[in-house]
Structure 1
């Protein structure tokens, strides 16, 4: 009897580099781009540690392709009473990335401040 390998999955977390803390309670939306069509796959909010409580994508829907994550960071900073210009320099951060390996763990962190952000493929 053979045991199949577990499928891949996608997780994320947000770090508030300006505040030196996790980006808690930030709305996050996931989309897949198919031939230029953007299809919503789900949404969540980051937990107190700035992480998604469960994978954003896994199982049969975890496929190779182009995806986007949207993070509502402007509202996060407004709730923290950070003075922002209106409109805010960063309001919704959109990260477009590719998934090539359907059995791998893709972790997409967002490091953010009111005026900058960065990301990388985490582990």
Structure 2
């Protein structure tokens, strides 16, 4: 089924708008997008096949727009799709020196 993401900036307590996001399977780019004003990409991919994927968040560029130098220039999240019929949501909670993620719904 589909894949979505949501990025929240823990430093400001607000959505992280304008974060460039790339989705890859193996070394092939599947899709790319930029988070909207609510920090979301509602449909980063319309359909996913079973397999291993990697989402790359360009955090360096995002923090540069905020006038901040962060420790992590990018966040890479690797995850496995085992049920192609399920919706997958991968949120990111971001700060200059830490981040966390989980499988959302």
Whether the 8 Å CA contact 1:74–1:114 is kept in 2: the answer is: no
Secondary structure at the aligned position of 1:56 is classed as: strand
Matches within 5 A, 1:69-108: 69-82=55-68, 84=69, 88-108=70-90
In structure 1, C-alpha distance between the alignment counterparts of 2:75 and 2:64, rounded to whole Å: 15
* Length-normalised TM-score, structure 2: 0.94
Number of matched residues? 105
Secondary structure at the aligned position of 1:90 is classed as: coil
Deviation string, structure 1 residues 31-84 (Cα, Å, up to 9, x no partner): 002xxxx111121000000000x411124xx101000000011111111112x2
Q: Tell me which protein shows more strand as a share of its residues.
A: 2
In structure 2, C-alpha distance between the alignment counterparts of 1:51 and 1:58, rounded to whole Å: 15
Of residues 28, 35, 45 in structure 2, which corresponds to 1:46?
35
* Length-normalised TM-score, structure 1: 0.81
Unaligned runs of 5+ in 1: 1-7
Over the aligned positions, Cα root-mean-square deviation in angstroms equals 1.0
Unaligned runs of 5+ in 2: none
Of residues 37, 45, 56 in structure 2, which corresponds to 1:57?
45
In structure 2, C-alpha distance between the alignment counterparts of 1:57 and 1:76, rounded to whole Å: 22
In structure 1, C-alpha distance between the alignment counterparts of 2:73 and 2:99, rounded to whole Å: 11
Of residues 53, 57, 64 in structure 2, which corresponds to 1:67?
53
